[in-house]
Structure 1
Amino acid sequence: METDCSTPDTTAPVSAAPLPVGTRLLHIGPHKTGTTSIQGALFAAKDAMAARGVDFPAHSRHPMEAALAVCGRPGMMGDARPAERHWGRLVDAVHATGGRTSLISSEFFADAPDDATVARIVDALGRDRVHVLVTLRPLTKIMPSQWQQYVQNGLRMGYEDWLDHMLRRAPYEKPNPSFWRRHRHDRLVERWARVVGAANLTVVVVDDRDRGGLMRTFESLLGLPCGLLAEVPDTSHRSLTPAETEMLRILNREFRGNGLPDEIYSKLVRNGAVPRMKNACRPSSDDVRISTPPWALEAAAAIGEEMAERIGATRVRVLGDPALLSAVPSPPPGPARGTARIDPEAAAQALYGALAVVAAESVRAAAIRSVHQTPSGELVRVLGHRILKRMKRR
């Protein structure tokens, strides 16, 4: 279906003139600002974009390892630390595009800790051609989503306790020091603008009322036809429900309390149980929503107002309405906060996902697939075969 772009939408970001041909557009997120959606759309349309002079040089939808490596960050809990070769491979791919326009997108670039790291990134990509793009959403919407993402990476702290630490306990670094490095958006913009210059940085305030607005903004900046970028359905990146998050948080507590290796968590939980549960179970409208208490909404909105003022003072280009960053949202529709009860189907699928990883290890390279793509029958047969062999040995 083609998108009708002839009718103006008052909720959409202001249309921007295309960047000069040959620009290397560097989208740095930060997290929870539509990055997964736009990266999926860009990767799906990479051939169509290339035919129109815009290259997506990354070898995957999201060059996470490259961004983590250049920012000096470790990988996810239990994963191998990203190597410098990951960053070098991405830089080589960017330079291979020659004089064409290109686009690189990873929210982990927002984790660059200082001006020196930012300068290293920009210089490697070609300082005279880089234009930085920052996408922003209100903190009030980012905080619940970011908390449950931290839980997926091993966090054991409950939501309201976590909010208390992030908003009330200076210096606001525990338990997740990365949060304010990413989401103190004014400082993020200032840090990158000091290196690339205000004229080479654009901020897009995402309006959640217009689902296609971010896609249209990327199309405008890259000089692409309206409607070329389209959202790619991907249930593996849906948010967890409160009940699913609570189950995982309690599992994290037991995991840490018993001193199990991080590698086991990465393999069986984050890359086994969680993606299986996300793909196999679709939350219903009856699921209880993660509820942010009023005091935290007001505190986050006040920070958003301060950030919008400071971003305006940098004189970078801002597309969209900065007032959205300080708006206090109305209570979401749906059931009020109550007792979080895990759906037995979700619990069963999570357990199966972990078991399936064990079984999948015995599948040879020609048959290797991600857990949620491997037929259940095949995994059950392999797992059963391994169990029988062990029983015979005993």
Structure 2
Amino acid sequence: METDCTRLPAGTRLLHIGPHKTGTTSIQGALFAAKDQLPAHGVEFPGHTRHPMEAALAACARPAMMGDIAPTDRHWTTLLQQVHATGGRTSVVSSEFFADADAEDEETIGRIVEQLGGDRVHILVTLRPLAKIMPSQWQQYVQNGLRMGYEEWLEHMLRKAPYEQPNPSFWRRHRHDRLVERWAGAVGPERVTVVVVEDRDRGGLMRTFEALLGLPENLLQPVPDTANRSLTLAETEMLRNLNKEFRGNGLPDELYSRLVRNGAVMHMKNACSPTPQDVKISTPRWAVEAAAGIGAEIIDRIARMGVRVLGDPAPLSAVPEPAGQEPQEPRIAPEVAAQALYGALAAAAAAPVRHTASAKARTVHQTSSVELVKVLGHRCLKKLRRH
């Protein structure tokens, strides 16, 4: 453990690679909100959005989220142009999707580093305990179409070799020692900083970024983002069962992206905040202990790599005390379900379908619900493609 958060050399190109669920959205929002103030302190936050997700996916040759438009080299080239336009000033690029770079393709990481600035690039990795990451990642995978329940998913990730199904990206991102090793191999351990995020100190990550970049204390402030909140267990289970119906009826992925993830789920998260009565996603004891064991291995390997570690790594291998609460049946509030349904309807209404064909003789009431859903899906997809 180190406490010396020495400022990075002027002109550094700081690449924050996440991984997912380690405070990335929070720091991206804070940097973007302070974008106009940063140049006065010799720092730039290139890009016109909070998160250059498409650019990172394109750079790592990874697919888009289910149903989204595939990223192209243009996204990555545009970000590179914005980075190079910062000249000799310090610049920051942050995307957790850089952690998705193929573990078997060292050339990809080397190319990313070289294109960003070669020996000017410094890699920043933020870490949280696996036991806290796993429930967040599961519900995020459900938001991308996963149909597997949490405990079954944990069985696959922790007990069923080769631990890659149904989400091979999980350990590519969250076997943190291997992640650090891959990027240290491209830039050297002296140009890698690992920050252990302390959940109890919500401003700690902001202060660490300020120290590394030479910014005034408290310049970076959290930006509320309801769209990034985690789903409750009931919300996730509702969505997971919808995923089963969606896949079972063979509807197009583009429809899922538009109506479900960016319609129903997004509106539900923005309109409804979890209450103390909502049941959270709970990780069984055996999985918590297994995650802590892996965390201990991760700490040990990172400690021997020669990279700088800021913060106390002990929580990464700790087994937290059980909450001691009685198991509760997850129930979704009627207003939450209504907001989700409204979000889907609003997304569909935003791209109304023009009816050019003559009406069929069969009425709606004479048509099965499965057929109606397919017709709606194909019509919305046709409209999306026209746009």
Q: Residues 13 and 356 from structure 1, CA distance in 2 versus in 1: closer, same or farther, beyond 3 angstroms?
A: farther
Aligned to 1:388: none
TM alignment of 1:46-57, pairs within 5 A: 46-57=35-46
Aligned to 1:59: 48
Among 45, 60, 72, which residue is 1:83 paired with? 72
Among 184, 190, 193, which residue is 2:181 paired with? 190
Letter in 2 for 1:241: T
Q: What is the distance in 1 between the residues matched to 2:277 and 2:322?
A: 15
Letter in 1 for 2:207: R
| Contact 1:139–1:301 (Cα < 8 Å) also in 2 | yes
Aligned to 1:25: 14
Q: Residues 268 and 303 from structure 1, CA distance in 2 versus in 1: closer, same or farther, beyond 3 angstroms?
A: same
Identity between Structure 1 and Structure 2 (%): 73
Deviations 1:310-360 (A, max 9, x none): 001101000011111101122348x54321111111100000000001122
Q: 1:87: Cα distance to partner? A: 0.3
Q: 1:204: Cα distance to partner? A: 0.2
Aligned to 1:382: none
Q: Aligned pairs, how many?
A: 351
| Contact 1:15–1:217 (Cα < 8 Å) also in 2 | no
Aligned to 1:252: 243
| Contact 1:13–1:204 (Cα < 8 Å) also in 2 | no
Q: What is the distance in 2 between the residues matched to 1:352 and 1:331?
A: 37
Deviations 1:241-299 (A, max 9, x none): 00000000000011001100000000000000001000111111111111100000000
Aligned to 1:99: 88
Normalising by structure 1, we get a TM-score of 0.87
Please say if 1:351 is aligned against 2:344.
Answer: no
| Contact 2:2–2:309 (Cα < 8 Å) also in 1 | no
CA RMSD, Structure 1 to Structure 2 (Å): 1.4
Among 146, 152, 158, which residue is 1:155 paired with? 146
Aligned to 1:132: 123
Q: What is the distance in 2 between the residues matched to 1:52 and 1:332?
A: 45
Please say if 1:330 is aligned against 2:321.
Answer: yes
Aligned to 1:262: 253
SS at match of 1:128: helix
Q: 1:361: Cα distance to partner? A: 2.3
SS at match of 2:124: strand
TM alignment of 1:137-286, pairs within 5 A: 137-286=128-277
Q: What is the distance in 2 between the residues matched to 1:258 and 1:360?
A: 24
Which 10-residue stretch deviates more, 21-30 or 324-333? Answer: 324-333
SS at match of 2:37: helix
Letter in 1 for 2:258: K
Q: What is the distance in 2 between the residues matched to 1:57 and 1:259?
A: 40
SS at match of 2:41: coil
Q: What is the distance in 2 between the residues matched to 1:63 and 1:341?
A: 36
Q: 1:14: Cα distance to partner? A: 2.8
| Contact 1:308–1:325 (Cα < 8 Å) also in 2 | yes
| Contact 2:2–2:308 (Cα < 8 Å) also in 1 | no
Q: What is the distance in 2 between the residues matched to 1:292 and 1:54?
A: 41
Which 10-residue stretch deviates more, 282-291 or 243-252? Answer: 282-291
Please say if 1:291 is aligned against 2:282.
Answer: yes
Q: Residues 313 and 100 from structure 1, CA distance in 2 versus in 1: closer, same or farther, beyond 3 angstroms?
A: same
Q: What is the distance in 1 between the residues matched to 2:326 and 2:38?
A: 44
Q: What is the distance in 2 between the residues matched to 1:330 and 1:243?
A: 24
Q: What is the distance in 1 between the residues matched to 2:348 and 2:268?
A: 16
Please say if 1:339 is aligned against 2:329.
Answer: yes
Aligned to 1:68: 57
Q: What is the distance in 2 between the residues matched to 1:60 and 1:302?
A: 38
Among 19, 24, 29, which residue is 1:40 paired with? 29
Letter in 1 for 2:179: L
Q: 1:362: Cα distance to partner? A: 5.2
Tell me, which stretches of 5 or more residues in structure 1 are unaligned?
1-11, 364-394
Normalising by structure 2, we get a TM-score of 0.89
Q: What is the distance in 2 between the residues matched to 1:92 and 1:359?
A: 37
Letter in 2 for 1:350: A
Q: 1:15: Cα distance to partner? A: 4.8
SS at match of 2:304: helix
